[in-house]
Chain A
Amino acid sequence: RKEVEQDPGPFNVPEGATVAFNCTYSNSASQSFFWYRQDCRKEPKLLMSVYSSGNEDGRFTAQLNRASQYISLLIRDSKLSDSATYLCAVNIRASYDKVIFGPGTSLSVIP
Chain B
Amino acid sequence: NAGVTQTPKFRVLKTGQSMTLLCAQDMNHEYMYWYRQDPGMGLRLIHYSVGEGTTAKGEVPDGYNVSRLKKQNFLLGLESAAPSQTSVYFCASSYAPGVARDTQYFGPGTRLTVL
Taking the nearest CB of chain A, how far is it from the CB of B5, in angstroms? 11
CA distance A99 to B93 in the complex (A): 12
Of A32, A44, A97, most buried by chain B (CB within 10 Å of CB) is A97
Picked from B90, B95, B106, B109, the residue with its CB within 8 Å of the CB of A97 is B95
Segment of A54-62, A67-75, A101-109 engaged in the interface with chain B: A101-109
CA distance A44 to B104 in the complex (A): 9
Taking the nearest CB of chain B, how far is it from the CB of A97, in angstroms? 4
Taking the nearest CB of chain A, how far is it from the CB of B44, in angstroms? 8
Interface size on A, residues (CB 8 A): 22
CA distance A101 to B104 in the complex (A): 11
**In the complex, which residues of chain B have a beta carbon less than 8 angstroms from the beta carbon of A91?**
102
Q: Is the interface of A mostly helix, strand, loop or mixed?
A: strand
* Shortest Cβ distance from A102 into B: residue: B42
Confirm or deny: A42 has a beta carbon within 8 angstroms of a beta carbon on chain B.
Answer: yes
Confirm or deny: B41 has a beta carbon within 8 angstroms of a beta carbon on chain A.
Answer: yes
Contact with B along A38-63 (1 / 0, CB 8 A): 00011111100100000000000000
* Shortest Cβ distance from B108 into A: residue: A43
**In the complex, which residues of chain B have a beta carbon less than 8 angstroms from the beta carbon of A44?**
43, 90, 104, 106
**In the complex, which residues of chain A have a beta carbon less than 8 angstroms from the beta carbon of B100?**
49
Contact with A along B35-79 (1 / 0, CB 8 A): 100001111010010100000100000000000000000000000
CB of A97 within 8 A of CB of B102, answer: yes
Of B42, B104, B106, B107, most buried by chain A (CB within 10 Å of CB) is B42
Confirm or deny: A21 has a beta carbon within 8 angstroms of a beta carbon on chain B.
Answer: no
CB of B108 within 8 A of CB of A87, answer: no
**In the complex where A43-B108, A46-B104 touch, is A103 in contact with B94 (Cβ < 8 A)?**
no
CB of B109 within 8 A of CB of A87, answer: no
Confirm or deny: B84 has a beta carbon within 8 angstroms of a beta carbon on chain A.
Answer: no
Picked from B103, B105, B107, the residue with its CB within 8 Å of the CB of A49 is B103
Taking the nearest CB of chain B, how far is it from the CB of A109, in angstroms? 22
Confirm or deny: B31 has a beta carbon within 8 angstroms of a beta carbon on chain A.
Answer: yes
What would be 5 A-B contacts, judged by CB atoms less than 8 Å apart? A43-B107, A96-B31, A101-B35, A102-B42, A103-B41
